[in-house]
Copies of this chain bind each other. A is one copy, B any other.
């Protein structure tokens, strides 16, 4: 380990992880479990082991947030998400906000200005009409703020008990910005890792809204459109902007792990530099959860070449809602495919993909 970051014992652990990771994962489970939907290892196995080989799509292989299709020379990004969040309304937002912002944000981090959305609803028989109206209003309002139109839709109804009030699937299409030179595999050693604001609020807000914990804290979801942030980074980062991801299911830790693997680099994160609100930090500690793994619905992670990093960060901080954007680490060479955290106390640890499912149905 050329950078001397890890001890002998750590190195042996890393070698085992590395060997396991170099194989293409195979989907060998006999049943679907909640963890297949959690965005961690099981989800990755499902995608890489079952979907990507079956559909043999270059776009899917890229494991990006959006697929790319070229029509008559126009490069379009297409992205889809189903939302099954429980409860459907929570402090700071609702399933309707998420459905718009989640899809808009997948386009934004692919470097695509959102052009149009489709909206497909699966409603539970017996759903209160007022709840439906409230979500329709939330969708319309979020779409207006994001500057995108819902141009087509579908509605299905399933019997009472066969869904939880509503599931929403939104799909977005957008033109890939000519300034974008983004690629999952473009990240290089020396690149700076930037987050667009304080992390962990969305997942924590959902957990508290479920009332499963004897904990009361004033935490709101961060759900919002990331296009203004992406736009600022595209402008300021230029060709130095390597890659962007929104840190939803599995949080910042999962994004870093996926990209470390894709680009075969090491991500080194300085824990003390990661912005986390005091209330989120407090709740996380009480719940025993690392906010790095907690979902966000309005935060992106960007990788920027060292020469453009300061300018990109300054541009990002000028975007409303991104005032707390921060550089949280750097890309290194060894060991490839790994995320390491330098703790506030001077220690180092591996921040691996989660195997299990700490927070089901947060989006």
Stretch at the interface among A119-127, A211-219, A278-286, A302-310: A119-127
| Contact (A125, B169) CB under 8 Å given A80-B120, A120-B80, A150-B55 | no
Task: Enumerate chain B residues within 8 angstroms of A50, measured Cβ to Cβ.
Answer: 132-133, 136
* A149-181 interface code vs B (CB 8 A; 1 in, 0 out): 111111111110111100101010101000000
Give Cα distance in the complex from A78 to B34, angstroms. 31
Task: Enumerate chain B residues within 8 angstroms of A265, measured Cβ to Cβ.
Answer: none
Residue A12 at the B interface, CB < 8 A? no
In the complex, the chain B residue whose C-beta lies closest to that of A127 is B32
Task: Enumerate chain B residues within 8 angstroms of A29, measured Cβ to Cβ.
Answer: 129
Stretch at the interface among A14-22, A61-69, A253-261, A345-353: A61-69
Task: Determine if B143 and A80 form an interchain contact, defined as CB atoms under 8 angstroms apart.
Answer: no
Residue A89 at the B interface, CB < 8 A? no
Task: Enumerate chain B residues within 8 angstroms of A344, measured Cβ to Cβ.
Answer: none
Task: Enumerate chain B residues within 8 angstroms of A151, measured Cβ to Cβ.
Answer: 57, 59-60, 67-69, 78
Within A59-91, which residues are at the interface with B (CB < 8 Å)? 59-60, 64, 66-69, 71-72, 74, 76, 78-84
Q: How far is the CB of A96 from chain B (nearest CB, A)?
A: 10
Q: How far is the CB of A13 from chain B (nearest CB, A)?
A: 30
Q: How many copies does the complex hold?
A: 2
Q: How far is the CB of A138 from chain B (nearest CB, A)?
A: 10
Q: Which of A29, A72, A153, A156 has the most CB of B within 10 A?
A: A156
Give Cα distance in the complex from A255 to B152, angstroms. 17
Q: How far is the CB of A111 from chain B (nearest CB, A)?
A: 15
* A23-34 interface code vs B (CB 8 A; 1 in, 0 out): 000010111111
| Contact (A155, B43) CB under 8 Å given A120-B82, A169-B120 | yes
Task: Enumerate chain B residues within 8 angstroms of A319, measured Cβ to Cβ.
Answer: none
Interface residue from B31, B34, B152, B175 paired with A80 (Cβ < 8 Å) = B152
In the complex, the chain B residue whose C-beta lies closest to that of A27 is B129
In the complex, the chain B residue whose C-beta lies closest to that of A30 is B129
Task: Determine if B159 and A129 form an interchain contact, defined as CB atoms under 8 angstroms apart.
Answer: no
| Contact (A171, B80) CB under 8 Å given A126-B31, A150-B55 | yes
In the complex, the chain B residue whose C-beta lies closest to that of A133 is B50
In the complex, the chain B residue whose C-beta lies closest to that of A64 is B152
Residues on A facing B (Cβ under 8 Å):
27, 29-38, 43, 46-47, 50-51, 54-57, 59-60, 64, 66-69, 71-72, 74, 76, 78-84, 115-116, 118-129, 132-133, 136-137, 139-140, 143, 149-159, 161-164, 167, 169, 171, 173, 175, 360-361
Can you list 9 A-B pairs with a CB-CB distance of less than 8 A? A32-B124, A59-B152, A66-B152, A71-B115, A78-B118, A78-B152, A81-B154, A120-B171, A163-B167
